[in-house]
Structure 1
Amino acid sequence: MPEFRIGDNDFLLDGQPFRILSGALHYFRVHPDYWADRIHKARLMGLNTIETYVAWNEHSPKRGTFDTSGGLDLGRFLDLVAAEGMYAIVRPGPFICAEWDNGGFPGWLFSDPAVGVRRDEPLYMAAVAEYFEELLPIVASRQIDRGGPVILMQIENEYGAYGDDKSYLRKLVELTRAGGITVPFTTIDQPTDQMLADGSLPELHKTGSFGSRAAERLATLRSHQKTGPLMCAEFWDGWFDHWGAHHHVTDAQDSARELDALLAAGASVNIYMFHGGTNFGFTNGANDKGVFQPTVTSYDYDAPLTESGEPGEKFWAFREVISRYAPVPDEVPEASAAGAELEVVLDERVSLWDAAGRLGETVAVDALPTMDERGQFRGFALYTTEIDAVADASGHVDRVLTVGEVRDRAQVFVDRAPVGVLQRDHHDVSLSLPASSDAASLAILVEDQGRVNYGHRIGEHKGLIGGVSISGEEIAGWSALELDFDAVVSGATGLYEPLEVGQAVTGPSFVRGSFTAPAGRDLFLSTDGWGKGQAFVNGFNLGRYWSRGPATTLYVPGALVREGRNELVLFELHGAARNIALFVAGSSLGHTDY
């Protein structure tokens, strides 16, 4: 069988020097029908290796489960890498960051406040052991010395930016070896003295993460990694976006020059990202360094291969650079057809209130729980209660609703009429309620906008933290409902009411309509004119949209589009002037500062 190891100066494949030319491609961000296409295009750019994280929370949404079906079939993904004649690097975390919900940690991991993540703490390490017990056999059987593509395994992820628990790192090594992993282990950190010292062990091969100043950063890396090949295991060729900001791009020629400098220095590389993909559903992460910044649905990343799998300017620029150092195939990718341009009349509507009975089981609670305390780790929750009449029937008595902390966004309604929105990124905690001489119903729709994926706020609970009070008096006696969209967005009968063409849409409500499009052809849903919500095609949750931008389209993989009738459903939180949705020819990811 082939052998891969780390030599004094080079990576060695069957004893011969081997330069890793890798690209990051996360299987969980790409529709599985397109895995082979994206892998093939990586080879056409000149790459010889595919790198992927493993998202623990996707595989294990509940403790004791490990889902490898459909888009989570890591084994099939690695087999496709092998079928393309390429190698693979696997980065299982347990923490991955990746601008992914909770940095890849399952929400249930934080149900016990005694759990201490990313350190040698018994409760956490027991959970990690359960995770590795399920994951590692999938990888072990596909290592290069067993005829598979896997040549490297990473231990943790940029740990030096978080902690320095050497016992924790050693136990991860022990667990990984005990799970049958025999290929070499690496660590990755930004090339600073502190991070490289804290984030690794002497026996692990250190790599760097950076996107510029290659000579300087490689010199720092070499000062901590005295022998063996130099590698930038995350060559940052773009960046991610968050709601309300610009779309990040970097100049293709500048990026190509940085890549050239890196390869000219003899280093190996993993391009982060080669193909970013999409944060479908509720999978996006967030950052919070004083201001909460949730990541958008598109993870295009301004990568060489666009969100929809098209070669962009960087693809050709990087391909030309790589050709100076390694053979590049003569074959080039074929351009795909533009997205079909369609108008869809969303001619049926049901309000959130009328749909509530289909969205799940309402539970009576006294004190208001966090979403996590009810075992909910993503999405929306609806809390309702009754509030007393204002004593002064003239309506001049002030009522102020106050929340300890909102995580992350709360829409407030009195008798189903919208009163206002409390937003975490604005640090909102209170708003005035209308005066009334009658008792009224109070409803609060809370959205988890994505869990923090980097830093010490990972694992924080979601919902209305610290309870709700009105004019200083805490409110008790609530009904709580976790919104399960399946029964409303897929085949719901006898629920929706008709809407005439051109009517306004009031939210929060579900609107749906049907359309016919070429089967298997990618589509781009324009969200211009809509407020905020979730979009579903044929029951598949495409992700979040928001008029804040920057993106004004959602990517619809052609694999979701079927022959004949297709269904589009929007869960619109606020409203739109007309019940018309458009599919457009291509993506619009927003304005840039470039």
Structure 2
Amino acid sequence: MSASTTPRSFSIGEQDFLLDGEPFRIISGALHYFRVHPDQWADRIHKARLMGLNTIETYVPWNEHSPQRGTFDTAGALDLARFLDLVAAEGLLAIVRPGPYICAEWDNGGLPAWLFSDPAVGVRRNEPLYMAAIAEYFDALLPIVAERQIDRGGPVVLVQIENEYGAYGDDKDYLRALVDLNRAGGITVPLTTIDQPTHQMLSDGGLPELHKTGSFGSRATARLATLREHQPTGPLMCAEFWNGWFDHWGAHHHTTGTAEAAAELDELLASGASVNLYMLLGGTNFGFTNGANDKGVYQPTTTSYDYDAPLTESGEPGPKFWAFRDVIAKYAPVPDEVPVASAPAPVFEVVLDRSVPLSQAIRSSAPSLGTWGEYDHLPTLDELGHFRGFALYETTVETGGVLSFGEVRDRAQVFLDGEPVGVLSRDRHDTALVVPGGGVLQLLVEDQGRVNYGPRIGEDKGLVGPALLDGAEIAGWRVLPLDVGSLPAAARRDVEPGEASVVSVAGPAFAGGSFDIETPADLYLSTAGWGKGNAFVNGFNLGRYWSNGPASTLYVPGPALVAGRNEIVVFETLAIARPVARFVAAPELGHTEF
């Protein structure tokens, strides 16, 4: 642990949190290290202190650290130890929420997809297979957290058990098993739960030995009163003060009024309660990490997780930063230093001067985009151990007819002998279309994000059988899971400067271009006029874009760039009429509704 201080004490008193035996109010903000480029962590943490916060809270995404069982990655953007050390170096405390379920609008709610390869595995309950996997996870994670607890000279003062469990279940044995695993893993700081302040959720989601906290964004006095009914002593805390909201593709961009949010925060702090702002900074669902909701309609979350938070997606102080800072100053010291807003981002265009159809890239790309497998049945992507991104399904049909599936998760573009036939989209409940004749049938299938909330957590992705053509089952399939790490390389070829031979991009295809910059800085890539796909800069997956909106820009963190030559690659699944990448001065997150 690089950033350490003298060991201190933190406990729960009759009415207050106690820091070294003295009453202490937590004024915290949520900052997910996995949604921010690691070279920007220090800047965001510093700005948290300038707003008046004394604590940083973060979830831990199990699936990101352990994409395969038996692995636990802590490199780069997953270096939780470095993140917590930076929090300590700024003089702030930390709250860690390791789940194992986190929701967070994150893919599968943070639960690894491999966890559910065995159908006997339970979900969020005291089931032996599930608990054994959690024990492995905690064995790898908890030493990082335990070493950085406040009683060992670190910043961590609270660790949360599960996440809003009362909205899902009431298995007390499960919660107690999680407590035991945390304690066995060396966690000595107080343990908490969080639930929306209803009698049912607070009763079902907690244990008498765990400190209860609430999650809400309004009516603080009434909701704290409900929380007090279930917890007669100890400090009151809103551990998720919802000061904004997230967006779904195809909907509007969510915002909340600054004055109204500040007034709600003022009411909360006036009551004497502690608070954790959700979010301080939302950040970005880079790559294929976004989650989804499905309460009858499938709604994948957008790449931008701006959340209308006090710090914008790119770390700029927004209106809520200043309004919340003024409120906090009424109840706690606020530094004199203030952050300085950045200049508008550089504006320029890059010609996408090379394009490679997916079909050609599969045949000739090096490194390989993946390996074909042959199956006598229709496999899901999970059956193939392919847990994110795209896959190409292929079969041969003798005649045309109505093609149908049990379910499409989540989007399938259908081609016959290379010509587009149509799209089957989960958000429209599509399961069937007409194939005009016989030939080679291909479906480019996209996992658009695993459900992160509710009973559909842990479900398989891909095509779900039966696959029928006019009622007769199609048995023989070839499937190519696309290696997402190799996607940017598919558009590379030597191009003379100024050459512009690409007139348009007919997807699915890769397109690329190069640009030079003197000094790396944050950029905003406009996707207006593009169809649907992913964009990469220097191999860094910026995330998904979609003409469905609301957002029409992707955030490019400055540390992903280099001085000199940079490369942009787009994997476009639909079409781009004008093959130009435009970088604009500011983000465009879409239309709002009030």
Letter in 1 for 2:392: L
Q: What are the equivalent positions in structure 2 for 1:236-275 lying under 5 Å apart?
A: 236-275=242-281
Query: 2:187 maps to which residue?
Result: 181
The reply on whether 1:447 has 2:446 as its aligned counterpart is: yes
The reply on whether 1:53 has 2:55 as its aligned counterpart is: no
Query: 2:538 maps to which residue?
Result: 538
Q: Choose which of 416, 419, 436 in structure 2 pairs with 1:417.
A: 419
Q: What are the equivalent positions in structure 2 for 1:184-583 lying under 5 Å apart?
A: 184-357=190-363, 358-388=368-398, 390=399, 399-435=401-437, 439-490=438-489, 500=500, 503-583=503-583
The reply on whether 1:41 has 2:47 as its aligned counterpart is: yes
How much has 1:491 moved relative to structure 2? 7.9
Deviating more after overlay: 191-200 vs 516-525: 516-525
Query: 1:26 maps to which residue?
Result: 32
Query: 1:148 maps to which residue?
Result: 154
**Alpha-carbon contact 1:298-1:307 (below 8 Å) kept:** yes
Letter in 2 for 1:489: P
State the distance in 1 between where 2:23 and 2:448 align: 46
The reply on whether 1:63 has 2:69 as its aligned counterpart is: yes
State the distance in 1 between where 2:516 and 2:254 align: 34
Deviation string, structure 1 residues 356-387 (Cα, Å, up to 9, x no partner)? 14311111111110000000111001011111
Query: 1:393 maps to which residue?
Result: none
State the distance in 1 between where 2:13 and 2:477 align: 63
**Alpha-carbon contact 1:355-1:488 (below 8 Å) kept:** no
State the distance in 1 between where 2:217 and 2:410 align: 32
RMSD, matched Cα = 1.4
Deviation string, structure 1 residues 3-42 (Cα, Å, up to 9, x no partner)? 0000001000011000000000000000000000000000
Letter in 2 for 1:59: H
Q: Would the alpha carbon gap of residues 522 and 147 (structure 1) be closer, same or farther in structure 2, given more than 3 Å must change?
A: same
State the distance in 1 between where 2:204 and 2:484 align: 44
Identity across matched positions, percent: 71
SS state of the match for residue 77, structure 2? helix
**Alpha-carbon contact 2:15-2:235 (below 8 Å) kept:** yes
Letter in 1 for 2:389: G
State the distance in 1 between where 2:510 and 2:287 align: 16
Query: 1:137 maps to which residue?
Result: 143
Letter in 2 for 1:578: R
**Alpha-carbon contact 1:99-1:286 (below 8 Å) kept:** yes
User: Moved runs in structure 1, 4+ residues, more than 4 A?
Assistant: 491-499
Deviation string, structure 1 residues 303-334 (Cα, Å, up to 9, x no partner)? 00000000000000000000000000000001
Deviation string, structure 1 residues 480-509 (Cα, Å, up to 9, x no partner)? 111114334138655999983671211110
Deviating more after overlay: 488-497 vs 235-244: 488-497
State the distance in 2 between where 1:372 and 1:569 align: 27
Q: What are the equivalent positions in structure 2 for 1:83-94 lying under 5 Å apart?
A: 83-94=89-100
**Alpha-carbon contact 1:350-1:495 (below 8 Å) kept:** no
How much has 1:126 moved relative to structure 2? 0.2
SS state of the match for residue 270, structure 1? strand
Q: Would the alpha carbon gap of residues 548 and 521 (structure 1) be closer, same or farther in structure 2, given more than 3 Å must change?
A: same
How much has 1:518 moved relative to structure 2? 4.0
How much has 1:85 moved relative to structure 2? 0.2
Q: Would the alpha carbon gap of residues 496 and 351 (structure 1) be closer, same or farther in structure 2, given more than 3 Å must change?
A: farther
**Alpha-carbon contact 1:489-1:569 (below 8 Å) kept:** yes
Q: Would the alpha carbon gap of residues 266 and 245 (structure 1) be closer, same or farther in structure 2, given more than 3 Å must change?
A: same
SS state of the match for residue 206, structure 1? strand
SS state of the match for residue 544, structure 2? strand
How much has 1:561 moved relative to structure 2? 1.1
- TM-score where L is the length of structure 1: 0.97
State the distance in 2 between where 1:501 and 1:144 align: 60
Query: 2:4 maps to which residue?
Result: none
Letter in 2 for 1:68: T
SS state of the match for residue 511, structure 2? strand
Query: 1:395 maps to which residue?
Result: none
Q: Would the alpha carbon gap of residues 564 and 213 (structure 1) be closer, same or farther in structure 2, given more than 3 Å must change?
A: same
Query: 1:109 maps to which residue?
Result: 115
Report the number of matched residues.
583
Letter in 1 for 2:376: D
The reply on whether 1:592 has 2:573 as its aligned counterpart is: no
How much has 1:238 moved relative to structure 2? 0.2
- Gapped runs of 5+ residues in structure 1? 391-397
**Alpha-carbon contact 1:535-1:543 (below 8 Å) kept:** yes
SS state of the match for residue 555, structure 2? strand
Q: Would the alpha carbon gap of residues 93 and 127 (structure 1) be closer, same or farther in structure 2, given more than 3 Å must change?
A: same
**Alpha-carbon contact 1:284-1:296 (below 8 Å) kept:** yes
State the distance in 2 between where 1:248 and 1:72 align: 28
How much has 1:450 moved relative to structure 2? 0.2
Deviating more after overlay: 126-135 vs 358-367: 358-367
**Alpha-carbon contact 2:491-2:510 (below 8 Å) kept:** no
**Alpha-carbon contact 1:355-1:495 (below 8 Å) kept:** no
How much has 1:231 moved relative to structure 2? 0.2
SS state of the match for residue 486, structure 2? helix
Letter in 2 for 1:508: P
- Gapped runs of 5+ residues in structure 2? 1-6
Letter in 1 for 2:140: E
Q: Would the alpha carbon gap of residues 106 and 496 (structure 1) be closer, same or farther in structure 2, given more than 3 Å must change?
A: farther
